[in-house]
Amino acid sequence: MSRIESLLRAMTLEEKLGQLNLVTAGHAATGPIVPGETTHDIRAGLVGGVFNLWGRDVVARTQRLAVEETRLGVPLIFGLDILHGYRTIFPVPLAETGAFDPLLWERTARASALEAACEGIHLSFAPMLDVSRDPRWGRIAEGPGEDPFVGSKFAQAKIRGFQGERLSDRGALAATAKHFCAGGAATAGRDYAAVDVSERMLHEVYLPPFRAAVEAGCAAIMSAFNNVNGVPMTSHDKLLNGYLRRKLDFDGVIMSDYTAVSELVEHGVAADLVEAAALALTAGVDMDMVSGAYLRCLPEALARGLVAEADIDAAVARVLRLKERLGLFDDPYRFATPAEGVQEAHRQLALDAARRAITLLSDRGILPLAADVRRIAVIGPLADARADMLGPWSAAGAAENCVTILEGLKAALPACDLIHCTGVSIEGDDERGIELACALARSADVVVLCLGESAGMSGEAACRATPGLPGKQRQLAESIMATGASAVALLSCGRPLTAPWLFEQAQAVLATWFLGDMAGHAIADVLTGRFNPCARLAVTWPRDVGQVPIFYASRSTGRPPDANNFYSSKYLDCPVEPQFPFGHGLSFACVTLTNLRINRLEFTLGDEVEVRVDARNESEVATEETIFLFIHDVTARVGRPLMELKAWAKVALAPGKSKTVAFTLTAESFSFPGEDMEVMFEPGAFDILVGLSADRKNLLTASLRMIST
Ligand code: GLC
């Protein structure tokens, strides 16, 4: 008999339910505080996992309560939200995705896993895989942006990084793909709000990253707070049991989100906590995060015949199997030991990641800053902000580890006279500092405007109805630019910010997002030209919140936008084009693409389609460019998106040099969910579109046909 079977046989009902009980400790508040006696409950065998607790000693002490003071000694699993770093903090995921570099994504997850495993953490509530096309939603910062193909690659890289080869290896963390699913489509961009999406959008946009996560072997999945088409994800039998478990054969642990089981009553699908617990368990949720409904109410649900003990046993078995895969039964105190110098290596990685996450949005030629610049005015509420560089979900990260923008510029330009003031606060109404700011601007050769959001304006429950520059930052920026000063604007933010006036007036604008520990050094390296910016937008940047949701893969319409046709899909008061398209990002170089060619004009299912394009660096600056390949299925029985990303490639180009970039597509790239949502191949014409962003007017296009399936 296996260990798990013998444990199940030995366990009382209460001990079984204890394994399904996931409780929060106090090191971080990631939801409403629910009173409880954690230590008592652990000793009584009523807790299966603890999160929001870190540090070797306290984790060891807590584990000892379970291993040495309970009847069966089943070890706890310790979890934490490690989205972009544990102690070393990397750029927020939306920014890091912009590097379009799966190896980097994997490396930062690996570094985070090692740091966390050294302190006894076993599981990360990451990667967050919510595709989002709505910058009002604060959690857009936590995910991989708007595209399901990118989200799928991001999922695979992060899970490889967190989990490594075996979960029992020192330095491995179990990954939790979250939040399943479609929270990024919340009504009006408001967190937790209802989600109404078509079956087609589910299968084309919101499910693919989770499919990729399951295929990559993720150990756990967290169901989302929101409902989908009226059914809360916490009790969504069709998508949890039906899609994850039966369709994808996912046999890992499904956990609820924070108190989400008890929230089924508020959702209006359960009359009381007993029904809520029964609905969640029978839908496929194994662990109840924080609500305590499983522990307290499943006995009555059993008595009412709402659940069977076999349902409970199956959930407990999955939790025990995860603990076994982690090696916790063999060594409950599986602390990894950090190799010498690992901290410094991670800070270097954080610098590399931060540099590669900076997106140069616009530049009228002012960058890189002239080497002989004498005086720089560093102005704005984010200029010397430290904690805000961490962004949301900074785990065990610490503000004192962050390098501010001002500090980074001082270190990079020791001979330069740097003068600084905040001008205004991030969100306040006080404009009295603007006058001094303008005086500094007049006395400087160039102004670096450090604008944006606070870390608290991003992440969970941090939605903004008007995602522009908050407070009086616009007044500050326009007053400074009105002095005639040359201004480079930096946007520290967790979302695209709608600010067309800034792009019209500033000499250059960079999205510096929330870059983590090494923010200041990375920004200084880009502004001084020591690093040639290479990031690209993983999300479309709207001109106005009225355009939202806005994304490149829009579906066709019978009356596409046409400035010359009144009866076409457009606005009277705003262009339909975004401020910047998906994939946009400038560098200090200039690269041209020519000679797009395909190895065949017709293909069948078994064929590979080879696509090649020549890339030439027309500048004197070495560069690394990202080249995107989209397809368009011209005619199909369901209207297909005007473009779908199917591949991207990065190419390093020395000054004046050219390279041929090759892509290989299989027939799978040309498939889509049919009317039954099963994979479908439909013969017909396809366009291949290749370019440096999703800006269709600048893409090279070639056509081919699928001639049979
Ligand atoms: C929060 C978040 C979720 C997180 C969990 C534990 O409410 O929704 O992303 O993993 O609680 O902190």
- Taking only the tens place, the pLDDT of each residue in 1-55 is 899 999 999 999 999 999 999 999 966 677 776 666 788 999 999 999 999 999 8
pLDDT in tens, 537-586: 999 999 999 999 999 999 989 999 998 999 999 999 999 999 999 999 99
pLDDT at 27: 66
Buried b (16+ CB within 10 A) or exposed e, 337-373: eeeeebeeebbebbbbbbbbbbbbbbbeeebbbeeeb
pLDDT in tens, 74-86: 999 999 999 999 9
What confidence tier does 335 reach under pLDDT thresholds 50, 70, 90?
Answer: confident
Strands 288-289 and 21-24: parallel
pLDDT in tens, 138-169: 999 999 999 999 999 999 999 999 999 999 99
pLDDT in tens, 633-657: 999 999 999 999 999 999 999 999 9
Asked if residue 460 has its Cβ within 6 Å of ligand 1, the reply is: yes
25 CA → ligand 1 middle, Å: 13
| Cα–Cα separations (whole angstroms), residue 232 to 137, 260, 274, 293, 297 | 19, 9, 16, 16, 19
Interior angle at CA 127, CA 121 and CA 132, nearest 5:
150
33 CA → ligand 1 middle, Å: 13
pLDDT in tens, 282-320: 999 999 999 999 999 999 999 999 999 999 999 999 999
Instruction: Starting at the earlier edge strand, list the strands of the sheet with 487-492.
Output: 359-363, 508-511, 487-492, 446-452, 375-379, 417-421
What is residue 237's three-state secondary structure? helix
708 pLDDT exceeds 70? yes
341 pLDDT exceeds 90? no
Asked whether 164 and 556 are in contact (CB, 8 A), the reply is no
356 CA → ligand 1 middle, Å: 27
Quote the radius of gyration of the chain (alpha carbons, Å). Answer: 26
How far is it, in rounded angstroms, from Cα 707 to Cα 499? 47
Residue 14 main-chain phi, psi, to 5 deg: -65, -40
Tokens of 96: 């890091």
Strands 49-51 and 375-379: unpaired
How far is it, in rounded angstroms, from Cα 276 to Cα 62? 30
Lowest-pLDDT choice from 209-213, 472-476, 603-607: 603-607
What is residue 151's three-state secondary structure? helix
pLDDT at 33: 67
pLDDT at 38: 85
Nearest to 253 by CA among 293, 284, 216: 284
Tell me, yes or no, if the pTM score tops 0.95.
yes
Mean pLDDT score, 588-596: 98
Asked if residue 130 has its Cβ within 6 Å of ligand 1, the reply is: no
Buried b (16+ CB within 10 A) or exposed e, 144-166: bbbbbbbbbbbbbbbbbbbbbee
What confidence tier does 112 reach under pLDDT thresholds 50, 70, 90?
Answer: very high
Taking every pair of Cα atoms in the chain, the longest distance, rounded to a whole number of angstroms, is 80
Strands (E), 253-357: 253-255, 288-289
pLDDT in tens, 233-270: 999 999 999 999 999 999 999 999 999 999 999 999 99
Residues 6+ apart with CB under 8 A from 172: 113, 117, 162, 163, 164, 165, 166, 326
78 CA → ligand 1 middle, Å: 14
Mutate-to-test residue for ligand 1 from 22, 50, 81, highest number of ligand atoms within 8 A of CB: 81
What confidence tier does 334 reach under pLDDT thresholds 50, 70, 90?
Answer: confident
Mean pLDDT score, 80-94: 98
Question: DSSP character for 85?
Answer: B
How far is it, in rounded angstroms, from Cα 256 to Cα 281? 10
Asked if residue 352 has its Cβ within 6 Å of ligand 1, the reply is: no
Centre a 10 Å sphere on the Cβ of residue 291 and count the other Cβ atoms it contains.
26
- Residues labelled as active-site residues: 257
Average pLDDT over the chain reads: 96
% of the chain residues with pLDDT over 90: 95
Asked whether 681 and 688 are in contact (CB, 8 A), the reply is no
Question: DSSP character for 252?
Answer: S
Mean pLDDT score, 580-598: 98
Asked whether 513 and 355 are in contact (CB, 8 A), the reply is no
Mutate-to-test residue for ligand 1 from 24, 78, 142, 258, highest number of ligand atoms within 8 A of CB: 258
What confidence tier does 340 reach under pLDDT thresholds 50, 70, 90?
Answer: confident
